[in-house]
Amino acid sequence: MNKPLLTTRLFTVEHRVYTPAKGGSVARDVVVHPGAVVIVPVLDEQRLVMIRNYRYTVEQELWEFPAGTREPGEEAIETASRELEEETGYRAGAISPLMSFYTSPGFCTEWMHAFVARDLTHVGQSLQGSERIVVEEVAVSEVRRKLVAGELTDGKTIAVLGRYLLGATKG
């Protein structure tokens, strides 16, 4: 049984009751999310594009890779292209899948697709009115240093950066 508790522009919160295999029931309040993307923009083998994104929820500017929520009917790769251009001002000549993962499976259905974007051409940012994003070209060695030093605190960025630095790609 799913009972809607809250509906917003980006997600719904539902009260759900599950029946485990051993019997009985388990109730959970679940954030039902349409899914999202995160992109590792690669300028060349030595430089990546990152953003400093002010996050109102935590009242801090965070170092991140560009990311965004999927629109209804939008394929993940389309979302990745759109968000990359909007947030960084770069258009990719090639985008390839890196990995996919649940962001917070204890309470949220969000399934995030990560991509690597290459052959970047600068075309200009197109931010939404409330977004406060600064684009930075960062040496891979500096990004690695920030990761090891604990200076990156955005979970999706940490996850995909680790996978990227290990050289693992999908496909």
Does any domain span residue 109?
A: yes
Does any domain span residue 25?
A: yes
Q: How far is CA 149 from CA 2, 41, 158, in A?
A: 43, 22, 12
Q: How many domains does the chain have?
A: 2
Same domain, 81 and 132: yes
Same domain, 27 and 50: no
Does any domain span residue 128?
A: yes
The predicted-structure confidence for 20-71, as pLDDT tens digits, reads as follows 999 999 999 999 999 999 999 999 999 999 999 999 999 999 999 999 999 9
Does any domain span residue 170?
A: no
What is the distance of C-alpha 80 from the center of its chain?
9
Does any domain span residue 171?
A: no
Same domain, 84 and 156: yes
User: Which CATH number covers residue 83?
Assistant: 3.90.79.10
HEC string of 61-74? EEEECCEEECCCCC
Instruction: Please state the pTM of the whole predicted model.
Output: 0.92
CB 41 within 8 A of CB 48: yes
Same domain, 19 and 64: no
- Residue 63: which domain range? 34-165
- Written as six digits, the tokens of 6 are 């809250």
Same domain, 46 and 98: yes
Inform me whether the pLDDT recorded for 166 exceeds 80.
yes
Task: State the chain's mean pLDDT as an integer.
Answer: 94
Same domain, 96 and 142: yes
Does any domain span residue 155?
A: yes
Same domain, 21 and 76: no
Whose tokens are 């349409």? That residue is: 34
Same domain, 9 and 64: no
Does any domain span residue 118?
A: yes
Does any domain span residue 117?
A: yes
The predicted-structure confidence for 6-24, as pLDDT tens digits, reads as follows 999 889 999 999 999 999 9
CA proximity to 12, closest of 34, 40, 31, 27: 31
Same domain, 14 and 74: no
